[in-house]
Amino acid sequence: MTSTWKPRIVLFQCQWCLFSEADQKWVDTQRPRNVRLVKVPCTGRISPLYILNALQGGADGVLVSGCKPEMCHFKEGNLGARRQLDEFANFLEYAGLEEGRVHFAWLDVQERGRIQQELADMEARLVEMGPSERMKTRAPLKEGGLA
Q: How far is the CB of 28 from ligand FES (least distance, A)?
A: 16
Minimal CA–CA distance to 28: which of 15, 44, 46, 47? 15
Q: How far is the CB of 80 from ligand FES (least distance, A)?
A: 9
Q: Which helix H or strand E contains 135, and what residues bound it?
A: none
**67 near ligand FES (CB under 6 A):** yes
CB 11 within 8 A of CB 126: no
Q: Distance between CA 26 and CA 95 in Å, rounded?
A: 34
**14 near ligand FES (CB under 6 A):** yes
Of 78, 122, 132, 135, the one binding ligand FES (CB under 6 A) is 78
Residues in touch with ligand FES (CB under 6 A): 14, 16-17, 42-44, 66-67, 72-74, 77-78
